């Protein structure tokens, strides 16, 4: 089965804690992305990676960090510096940065 998987589906965090969201793809895509979605809003880009061992900040990178050590994996860490982390987080991938993006099922993060 080809596709993008995200885990966990739901995540609860206490204030002051860092959490890491997983994103894996077996589509052999070079590019991967993280978006944040808030109610009534479009998707806002957090970070993106066009190739292994390289990533760039998106529009709202503050309080987040990523790594891209393997082509298949692009984990996102939500740090305690992110002031309003409760949101729906979406991972996407594409063949390259100019092509169609395909999304995973999302992780809903709630800060208690």
Partner 1 sequence: QQQVKQSPQSLIVQKGGISIINCAYENTAFDYFPWYQQFPGKGPALLIAIRPDVSEKKEGRFTISFNKSAKQFSLHIMDSQPGDSATYFCAALGAWGGSQGNLIFGKGTKLSVKP
Contact residues: partner 1, CB under 8 A: 4, 6, 31, 40-43, 45, 48, 50, 56, 58, 90, 96-98, 100-106, 108
Give the residue with the Cβ less far from partner 1, 75 or 102: 102
Of 23, 93, 112, 100, nearest in space to 64 by CA: 23
Give the residue with the Cβ less far from partner 1, 13 or 97: 97
Q: How far is the CB of 80 from partner 1 (least distance, A)?
A: 26
**Can you give the C-alpha Rg of the chain in angstroms?**
13
- 2 and 99 Cβ atoms separated by less than 8 Å: no
């Amino acid at each position: 089965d080809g596709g993008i998987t995200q885990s966990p589906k739901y995540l609860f965090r206490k204030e002051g804690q860092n959490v890491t969201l997983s994103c894996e793809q077996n589509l052999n895509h070079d590019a991967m992305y993280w978006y944040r979605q808030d109610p009534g809003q479009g998707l806002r880009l957090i970070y993106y990676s066009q190739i292994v061992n390289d990533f760039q900040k998106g529009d709202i990178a503050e309080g987040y960090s990523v790594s891209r050590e393997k082509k298949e994996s692009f984990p996102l860490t939500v740090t305690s510096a992110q002031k309003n982390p409760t949101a729906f987080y979406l991972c996407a991938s594409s063949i390259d940065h100019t092509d169609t993006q395909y999304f995973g099922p999302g992780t809903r993060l709630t800060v208690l």
